[in-house]
Structure 1
Amino acid sequence: MLKHISSESILAMEKQNRVHLVNSLGGFKSVSLVGTTDGEGHTNLAIFSSIFHIGANPPLMGLIFRPTPPERNTYNNILKTGYYTLNHINESIYKQAHQTSARYDKSVSEFEVTGLTPEYKEDFLAPYVSESHVQLGLVFKEKMDIATNDTTLIIGEIVHIYLPEDCIGADGFVCLEKANTVTCSGLDSYHKTVQLDRLSYAKPDKEITSLLSN
């Protein structure tokens, strides 16, 4: 029998319990490190799980920012410079990645305190995480304020992709297991993944088949 939790019960919960409950309900999520710079030599690195695909032509990704205060250095850097990176987290760096969620002063680089390595390529202004196996360089395209809960959606276009050659198939599909990419649930739970199947494009009156058997 399923437990019922009403909206009244949710709002009556202790704050942290409510936060953990609601954040877990979205299921497994993409989690990445966002690398930025203020353009004056100061780097910033922050973990985000509110990342999602928006479109493929042009290739767009969305990123949700919670209300300020506190001051959001990543948000400010993106708006100031127009450049940022998304770096997949793997089993080797998930603890260091989690540590970037601590509220450091703007003068402190999360790269330095976690021991992760900033990497610059192709004259791109924002730093990548050298230890990440899948790295994306994005340019800022649009900002949308969400009045319902005072959050902000940042939309960026992917202009650079770096990943292991054996992770990308002939049809462009990226095998995240080969890249050792991890996922998360809630705010603090990290998970390895196992591919269950990959299915053919669904059409009326056509049987779905497994692409893994081809």
Structure 2
Amino acid sequence: MFIDKEQINHLDRKFRLNLINSITGIKPANLIGSQSPDGLTNLAIFSSVVHLGSDPALIGMIVRPDSEVARNTFDNIKATGYYTINHVPLTLTRQAHYTSAKFPADISEFDRCAIDEEYLKGFPAPFVKDSYIKFGLKHVQSIPIELNGTTLVIGEIQLMVVPDYAVNELGYIDLQACDTTGVAGLNQYYCLSKEAEYPYVRLEEVPEF
């Protein structure tokens, strides 16, 4: 398949959506936990979480436009200022996927999709109990992206939970050991396996290939 911009623009809408969503490859599968000011919990799957910096520890994610349907996750984040990001383990992909349904705000995806929630160290947003890697964030900035109406939501990590056995002496996390999964497109889930590890690259140490 070889297609240019003009051909892309004339593709069937659903075909184009799936194609462009898949072209970037495997993305992290994360469940975003939040809570309204009234205490109603919300859980939604996102594949747009990205590291923005380590000092301070900033994480970004893309929220889609809210012109057509309510975005309970974003509404809760704006209202309370706190949310959680939870890696989706292999055993939870089916329930996690169905949190993408457009549930009304008064129905918790935790309850409807049979996902256990937990609260840690007084943090004001719910975590996914069965997620091995999870972290709580404070909302620090939202940046509108005018070209397509999406928003880059930026949070600063307030606390992290990672199994001791999965962190090596340099601070690297073994995602395979934590059963973390990835997602391609909107509905294809992948296991992650560690195939290699290489040193930090210094120019004088680049080998001959």
TM tier relative to shorter chain:
over 0.9
Measured after TM superposition, the shift of residue 205 of structure 1 is 2.0
Counterpart of 1:190 in structure 2 is 189
Supply the AA of the counterpart residue of 2:62. Answer: I
Where 1:92 maps in the other structure, the secondary structure is: helix
| Counterpart among 21, 25, 31 of residue 27 in structure 1 | 25
> Any residues of structure 2 matched to 1:172-191 within 5 Å, and which?
172-191=171-190
| Counterpart among 2, 5, 8 of residue 7 in structure 1 | 5
Counterpart of 1:62 in structure 2 is 60
Measured after TM superposition, the shift of residue 120 of structure 1 is 0.6
Counterpart of 1:40 in structure 2 is 38
Counterpart of 1:157 in structure 2 is 156
Q: Is the CA contact 1:168–1:174 (under 8 Å) kept in the aligned structure 2?
A: yes
Supply the AA of the counterpart residue of 1:173. Answer: Y
Q: Is the CA contact 1:143–1:154 (under 8 Å) kept in the aligned structure 2?
A: yes
Q: TM-score, normalised by structure 1?
A: 0.94
Q: Is the CA contact 1:39–1:125 (under 8 Å) kept in the aligned structure 2?
A: no
Work out the CA distance in 2 between the residues paired with 1:197 and 1:35: 32
Supply the AA of the counterpart residue of 2:198. Answer: L
| Residue-by-residue CA offset, 1:153-199 (whole Å, 9 max, x unaligned) | 10001111112110011111000000000011111000001212111
Counterpart of 2:108 in structure 1 is 109
Work out the CA distance in 1 between the residues paired with 2:155 and 2:90: 26
Where 2:73 maps in the other structure, the secondary structure is: helix
Counterpart of 1:100 in structure 2 is 99
Q: Is the CA contact 1:138–1:159 (under 8 Å) kept in the aligned structure 2?
A: yes
Measured after TM superposition, the shift of residue 99 of structure 1 is 0.5
Work out the CA distance in 2 between the residues paired with 1:205 and 1:86: 38
Matched, 1:125 2:160: no
Measured after TM superposition, the shift of residue 207 of structure 1 is 3.6
CA RMSD of superposed structures (Å): 0.9
Instruction: Point out where structure 1 has 5 or more consecutive residues left out of the alignment.
Output: 209-214
Counterpart of 2:137 in structure 1 is 138
Instruction: Point out where structure 2 has 5 or more consecutive residues left out of the alignment.
Output: none
The number of equivalent residue pairs is 206
Q: Is the CA contact 1:37–1:44 (under 8 Å) kept in the aligned structure 2?
A: yes
Work out the CA distance in 1 between the residues paired with 2:161 and 2:203: 37
| Residue-by-residue CA offset, 1:9-38 (whole Å, 9 max, x unaligned) | 111111110100000011111110000000
Counterpart of 1:85 in structure 2 is 84
Measured after TM superposition, the shift of residue 39 of structure 1 is 2.2
Work out the CA distance in 1 between the residues paired with 2:114 and 2:149: 33
Runs of 4 or more above 4 Å deviation:
none
Q: Is the CA contact 1:51–1:63 (under 8 Å) kept in the aligned structure 2?
A: yes
Work out the CA distance in 1 between the residues paired with 2:204 and 2:168: 28
Work out the CA distance in 1 between the residues paired with 2:37 and 2:197: 42
Work out the CA distance in 2 between the residues paired with 1:170 and 1:101: 37
Where 2:44 maps in the other structure, the secondary structure is: strand
Counterpart of 1:212 in structure 2 is none
Counterpart of 1:51 in structure 2 is 49
